[in-house]
Structure 1
Amino acid sequence: MAGSRLERFGTVFTRVRDLIRSGVIKPKEKPLWYDVYKTFPPKRAPLHVKPVTSPSAKKQEIVPEIFYSEDKIRTFVDKYRELKSHGMLDKSSLFEETGKALLKEGIILRRRGAPPVLAESRDPVLDLKLIDMLAEQQSAGTDTTKTTEDKNS
């Protein structure tokens, strides 16, 4: 019952003093601090002051948008179904085209274990296939060897 009361109904000292006077607390069981407080009371009695809080003083928090990995997967599936419904792409290129379409919208997907690809680093040169690049380099290499043979003869 005493635990439900606040300091506004009396200080701890006055409550303990009254409990000793009424005999609830025996004089041998009184707290250690009681005699010190009785001998050297504070200059001003402690007051309970209810803290002032106004609802307008609270700043409204802005909740940031949260995207979970499930949201990216759901977006991918929706885009995949959309491109599939057009029926213009075959199954092998449908997956890649879905990824490219999402990259244009700013959603970056990555394969598990692969490093992330930044949208800014996306370059048309990256669209070239490795086989085409090797063939181009080999043809350029044979041209340079032919020109060096022509110069030597």
Structure 2
Amino acid sequence: MKYKNKKALSLLVVVGCVLAGYLLWQSLRPVEIVAVHYDGNYSDVLVKNFPFTSRGKINWWLENKEMLKAKYDIPGPASYGGYTIIFWLFGEGYKEEGKYDRLCFYDMKTKVNCIEKDSVFRINYSKNRGLTFTVDDGIYRLEENGNLIKIY
């Protein structure tokens, strides 16, 4: 009986190590920005390898916001200062509109201009609410002193 328990425990440890290694590998892969689409003060950023955790997503934005502004000119605020940036997983790539609820980008002059709606991160700025981040577990506001406060 003891031999079966050791064998099961060993198998469980091996599976756990493989899973932990895979998650570590996934988290260390760099974020790939596939495309950016603009519609007024809204920017849609198509990404691969985006961080899993809410904290990872917010930290990624804070570490890369200057690069995004310099390379892609986002955010692109409206005349009143507000903007929205939504990060979408690129998934299997662009598809035709089809009969499913897909997000289509009409700045592309092709029928293959839609993606599956799989948003992973949203950033909003308004004068009333300031800078907010919408992630899987709620909405956070970045205060002027740098503190991150969960508001929902």
Q: What's the TM-score bracket when you normalise by the shorter of the two chains?
A: under 0.3
Q: Relative CO higher for 1 or 2, CA cutoff 8 Å, sep ≥ 6?
A: 2
Considering only CA atoms, is the larger Rg found in Structure 1 or Structure 2?
Answer: 1
User: What's the TM-score once normalised by structure 1's chain length?
Assistant: 0.24
Larger relative helix fraction: 1
